[in-house]
Structure 1
Amino acid sequence: MASPLSDIPDHLLAEIFLRLPDSEDLVRTSAACVSFHRLATDGSFLRRFRRLHAPPILGFLWAGGMFYPTLPPHPSAPAAHALNLAADFYFSFIPSHYRWTVQDIRDGRVLLEGDIEKDERPPVFKDLAVCDPLHRRYVLLPPPPHDLAASLEHPFPMGSEARCKAFLVPLGEEEVVAGVTTFRVILMANCKTSLAAFVFSSSTGQWEAAASKGWSDLALTEGDMAEMSWVHPFILRRHYAYGCFYWDWVEFGVQKLLLLDTRKMEFSIADLPPGEWNKEGGIAVVEAGEGRLGIFGFHGKTSFNLSYTIARNKGESPSQWEVEKTIPLDSGTGYRYFIRDATQSYLLFTRIDASSSLKDRLTGYFSMDVKTLQIQMVYEKQNYRLHETYPYINFPPSLLSSRRL
């Protein structure tokens, strides 16, 4: 008579569980018995599982508060549908006179900014909140202290063109596995002569000055400064890899990256790989493995063939690059592609019908696994709002520790 599964040694069970297709299967497996649950929730096992299985893409959250779940046949569609039914993406659980708008999403948590009343004078800093729409938990962030605001040199007031931008710092692998309740928010302020960054930590409940750099100290050429003198840095695309945030100026003709190292809390400038990058198609900075940066983008004037370039040397400012692969996205079907976002596991891009009389006729949202380069349709319905959405990836690692701060 065959031995029951419970008699299989733990190290063999772990190898079996690692080969489950996705995290939903692991959750169902952990509910089978006590020994399965103990193994499936072990920290070392979860770290191994996370390295092999990227977190699910559950949908896209519009800045104004509307969720577009991932659609079939994508494997995340059932979980996305369940999330859409259970979560409150209108944020009605936050009692406030504000109309909240989405600023960022990381690890299932949403960073919100409160819109000011029309008759009020725009402040330097707006009110911020971090929330978990699934469990209807939130934390209201205190305003930065007056001395931090006073330290800004020639700040721009908040207005139609925002001069401050807040975003969440991604959790590390160990933090995700541990289900930590803490989070960090970076607030960057663009001044006439400098950039400044402040950091809020939920563990201390306080803001701290983190980094400041004069524009003239960022090693830009006079030509670069002339090109970027009118460009607000926070309308640029933001990327994250190996503990650093990157912003690219490709759309404005400058082959540079603005870099913020969150470990040292320092600003610097890095060069893009040589070549003509398509400014309309966009680029994405990703983790290529072994501490090396990777860049997806379109070369030349077309947005059909996606190029993947990898740094040959490690570090946040590599100097040697090589083209790893060219991925054809169009076979004469009349579509154009645009990179919209990138996570530590996925590249996300949209497809436009180039033959349509409607310039922004979006016909699909796609994901590409950064490791396998496998492309999947995520959302196919035509919807203009998807241009202004944030990808919602993974469930919240834990409830926030309190409703209010």
Structure 2
Amino acid sequence: MAGGDGGVNGEEPAREIPDEITDEILLRLPSRSALARAAAASGGFRALVSSPGFLRRHRALHHREDPGALLGVFTFSLTRDGAGGGVGTGFHPAEPPHPAAAAARAVAGAADFSFGFLPAAADRDPSAADGAGAGASEGWLVRDYRDARFLLDRVAPGTERGTVFTELAVCDPLSRRYALLPLIPEDLADTVDGVLNVFGGRRACEPFLAPAEPCDADAEPPFTVFWTARCQRKVAAFAFSSRDGRWRALPSPDCFIWRRHRSPFSCPMHTVWNRRQYAHGRFYWVDCLTNRWLVLDTRTMELTLSIIPSPAGYWEEHVAIVEAPGGKVGVFAHDFHHPGGKANLHYHTIVQDTDSPRWQLEKTIPLPWPADYHRPFSVRGTANGCLILEVSEEKPAFMASYRVRDAELFKIDVKSFQLEKICQARCAGGAAGECCWPYFGVPPSLSLPTI
């Protein structure tokens, strides 16, 4: 029996935690993936964590360490005539038994990965840059993805700038919001000449997104876009910030010559220098044959050239840079030849403890697929410490040209080094004609517009 004001058998009655304390507890959960699990446990929790005010506060507090779960892979390929939207273009959601399969299906159903909300070529209206578009995505090519934002470009309508100075748009397919960037000013454009084609020969520029910047809980998230072009004797580079809406020039490394010291048997130049990689605030372009690393530091806005000797037997399409724990730069790589048909993936870190940086082998991971000259796997993309591998019984991606192939996509990361299947996908295109990005995020109910 209850006695006095006590509970049954004299125990203290259960007390509800005040809402403001619950709010603070949930706010300290380290990721929105953890928030999603909390929301599934209680209707009250779900109402709290899905409110825009709470999500803005959580994003401001956990910006750097909260990429969300790996929900799938986005691929983009060109058609034979150079248009976007080739076979395999789109979001490939994680499939059961992947733990994020349900959230991935929700994102696939809610987002517009066709980018049909972007304005049509004849409707460029800067005053509508922050609203929903009123035109088809015809003419737009997907150039980059990072932190739930996509960067697309197209040949600027009504200009003679061609494929060098393209029109750029940053967008969020979940909220269907976008921002059109102003064209690069003429005084900056006039400093660029002798440009070499990249991106499969369809473009002569390489625009890409910087990592998301921290912001106040009530502020619109800012973004930065980089634009680079390979000239004969320099790197032309500009940066745009949404904070002030202006382009600025970045200096090129001295005496940088793109064509020097390339073997006639090595990869084509557009294949080498299309492989932009990122880790801990820096972008990297790696030339294994000449041991050159072009480095763009997003914090200092400086381009530098480093010499880091590569282990023998590695080609650029076999190498992928990842963010390793402790601020280290990690490198996954595999050999071109696989003696006995047994393939291994090698994981290195870049050691900077001497005047001459070097690769240090940390781990060798046996791959379960037999391999020879026609190995069934290829390196496709990296983000947040993980590597995406494509596995196909047909020719590997870098040899496949525009051949359509059925493939499986796998993930391996620097924490577990375990292979995890993500999904099956229909793919087409080679290294220069198709792009592949791991897509990290959260269910739509826990998403905020990034534009």
Structure 2 counterpart SS, 1:269: strand
Other-structure match for 2:441 = 394
Q: Confirm or deny: 8 A CA contact 1:236 1:249 kept in the other structure.
A: no
Q: Confirm or deny: 8 A CA contact 2:60 2:215 kept in the other structure.
A: no
Counterpart CA distance in 1 for 2:98 and 2:163 is: 43
Structure 2 counterpart SS, 1:89: coil
Other-structure match for 2:143 = 103
Cα distance change on mapping 1:286 and 1:400 into 2, 3 Å: closer
Within the candidate set 396, 402, 424, 1:380 is matched to 424
Structure 2 counterpart SS, 1:240: strand
Counterpart CA distance in 2 for 1:20 and 1:140 is: 29
Deviation of 1:56 (Å): 2.6
* 1:6 and 2:44 correspond: no
Within the candidate set 207, 218, 228, 1:166 is matched to 207
Q: Confirm or deny: 8 A CA contact 1:164 1:188 kept in the other structure.
A: yes
Other-structure match for 2:126 = none
Deviation of 1:234 (Å): 7.3
Cα distance change on mapping 1:58 and 1:19 into 2, 3 Å: closer
* 1:295 and 2:331 correspond: yes
Q: Confirm or deny: 8 A CA contact 1:284 1:347 kept in the other structure.
A: yes
Counterpart CA distance in 1 for 2:381 and 2:344 is: 17
* 1:69 and 2:85 correspond: no
Structure number with greater Rg is 2
Cα distance change on mapping 1:70 and 1:177 into 2, 3 Å: farther
Q: Confirm or deny: 8 A CA contact 2:69 2:441 kept in the other structure.
A: yes
TM-score w.r.t. the length of structure 1 is 0.79
Deviation of 1:229 (Å): 12
Q: Where does 1:40-59 land on structure 2 (aligned, <5 Å)?
A: 51=65, 55-59=69-73
Cα distance change on mapping 1:90 and 1:285 into 2, 3 Å: same
Which moves more between the two structures, 26-35 or 255-264? 26-35
**1:237-259 Cα deviation digits (max 9, x unpaired):** 11111211001224xx3333221
Within the candidate set 139, 147, 158, 2:179 is matched to 139
Which moves more between the two structures, 152-161 or 86-95? 152-161
Other-structure match for 1:241 = 279
Counterpart CA distance in 2 for 1:314 and 1:344 is: 24
Percent same amino acid at aligned positions? 29
Aligned length: 394
Within the candidate set 118, 122, 125, 1:94 is matched to 118
Counterpart CA distance in 1 for 2:436 and 2:411 is: 13
* 1:198 and 2:238 correspond: yes
Q: Confirm or deny: 8 A CA contact 1:152 1:191 kept in the other structure.
A: yes
Q: Confirm or deny: 8 A CA contact 2:167 2:181 kept in the other structure.
A: yes
Q: Confirm or deny: 8 A CA contact 2:407 2:424 kept in the other structure.
A: yes
Q: Confirm or deny: 8 A CA contact 1:294 1:309 kept in the other structure.
A: yes
Counterpart CA distance in 2 for 1:139 and 1:52 is: 24
Cα distance change on mapping 1:4 and 1:71 into 2, 3 Å: farther
Counterpart CA distance in 2 for 1:390 and 1:126 is: 21
Q: Confirm or deny: 8 A CA contact 2:155 2:163 kept in the other structure.
A: no
Counterpart CA distance in 2 for 1:133 and 1:43 is: 22
Counterpart CA distance in 1 for 2:103 and 2:180 is: 28
Other-structure match for 1:371 = 415
Counterpart CA distance in 2 for 1:176 and 1:28 is: 28
Deviation of 1:11 (Å): 11
Structure 2 counterpart SS, 1:368: strand
Structure 1 counterpart SS, 2:261: helix
Q: What amino acid maps onto 2:164 in structure 1? A: V
Cα distance change on mapping 1:270 and 1:12 into 2, 3 Å: same
Q: Where does 1:6-405 land on structure 2 (aligned, <5 Å)?
A: 6=17, 22-28=34-40, 32-33=44-45, 37=49, 51=65, 55-63=69-77, 64-65=84-85, 66-97=90-121, 98-115=138-155, 122=162, 124-155=164-195, 160-172=201-213, 174-175=214-215, 180-214=220-254, 216-217=255-256, 223=261, 231-232=269-270, 235-250=273-288, 253-272=289-308, 274-279=310-315, 282-299=318-335, 301-302=337-338, 304-313=343-352, 319-330=357-368, 332=370, 336-353=376-393, 361-384=405-428, 388-391=434-437, 392-394=439-441, 398-399=448-449
**1:174-209 Cα deviation digits (max 9, x unpaired):** 459888521110000211221111011111111111
Q: Confirm or deny: 8 A CA contact 1:292 1:313 kept in the other structure.
A: no
Q: What amino acid maps onto 1:32 in structure 2? A: G
Deviation of 1:7 (Å): 7.2
Counterpart CA distance in 2 for 1:34 and 1:71 is: 24
Counterpart CA distance in 2 for 1:116 and 1:24 is: 41
Cα distance change on mapping 1:385 and 1:123 into 2, 3 Å: closer
Q: Confirm or deny: 8 A CA contact 1:311 1:318 kept in the other structure.
A: no
Cα distance change on mapping 1:255 and 1:337 into 2, 3 Å: farther
Cα distance change on mapping 1:20 and 1:106 into 2, 3 Å: closer
Structure 2 counterpart SS, 1:290: helix
Q: Confirm or deny: 8 A CA contact 2:207 2:228 kept in the other structure.
A: yes
Counterpart CA distance in 2 for 1:139 and 1:102 is: 14
**1:116-150 Cα deviation digits (max 9, x unpaired):** 68997725301111111111111111101100001
Q: Confirm or deny: 8 A CA contact 1:43 1:177 kept in the other structure.
A: yes
Counterpart CA distance in 1 for 2:205 and 2:299 is: 21
**1:221-240 Cα deviation digits (max 9, x unpaired):** 96359999972477531111
